[in-house]
Amino acid sequence: MRTCIRTRNKGGCYFFTVNLAERPGDGLLVRHVDHLRSAFRETRADHPFMIDAIVILPDHLHCIWQLPPDDDDYPTRWRLIKSGFSRRVVTNERVSESRQRKHERGLWQRRYWEHAIRDDEDYRQHLDYIHYNPVKHGLVESPKDWDYSSFRRFVDQGMYSLEWAANMEIDRLHLE
Could you tell me how far CA 54 lies from the centroid of its own chain? 5
- Specify the DSSP element, H or E, that contains 104: none
pLDDT tens digit sequence for 153-174: 999 999 999 989 866 555 555 5
Query: What is the distance between the alpha carbons of residues 14 and 1, in angstroms, rounded to a whole number?
Result: 17
**Is this structure's pTM higher than 0.75?**
yes
Q: Give residue 161's pLDDT.
A: 92
Q: From the candidates 14, 132, 148, 160, which is the catalytic residue?
A: 148
Q: Give residue 173's pLDDT.
A: 57
3-state secondary structure of 116: strand
Catalytic status, residue 132: no
Burial of 44 (0-12, 13-18, 19+ CB in 10 A): middle
Half-sphere exposure of 110 (CA within 13 A, CB side): 6
pLDDT tens digit sequence for 23-54: 767 789 999 999 999 999 999 999 999 999 99
Instruction: Tell which wins on pLDDT, 79 or 1.
Output: 79
Domains and CATH numbers, the chain: 12-172 (3.30.70.1290)
